Amino acid sequence: QVQLVESGGGSVQAGGSLRLSCAASGYTYSSNCMGWFRQAPGKEREGVAAIYTGGGSTYYADSVKGRFTISQDNAKNTVYLQMNSLKPEDTAMYYCAAEMLAPCVSGLDRYEYNYWGQGTQVTVSS
């Protein structure tokens, strides 16, 4: 059973940084599409960033390009989301998602993913 556990959320002021972690367990595959999504109250869940752990290709939403960086540590089965220059509009619940043994298609479409974590809250104040 694949399990994803997010951590690293919190409250920061605008311009600050946070690093989210997604620890995955319950599988041994090394070539997966791993994504980060976020959902603010009253809004749809949107893709933020994704990475294909088999080759390292990355994908970003336009709204976070140049500010967020997704990375992987295959030895730890962990994917990270480094978030810099945070803005109040980045405030949301952030979710990790995984699709096993598959490259990312767009990486930012929630329907690409079968496994989800419980989420970690990020709040950015102005």
- Tokens representing residue 32 in the block: 């997966």
- The alpha carbon of 20 is separated from its chain's Cα centroid by a whole number of angstroms, namely 8
pLDDT for position 8: 98
pLDDT for position 65: 98
pLDDT for position 31: 86
pLDDT for position 27: 79
Task: Give φ, ψ of 45 to 5 degrees.
Answer: -70, 130
What are the pLDDT tens digits along the chain (126 aa)? 899 999 999 999 999 999 999 999 987 677 899 999 999 999 999 999 999 999 889 999 999 999 999 999 988 999 999 999 999 999 999 999 999 888 999 999 999 999 999 999 999 999
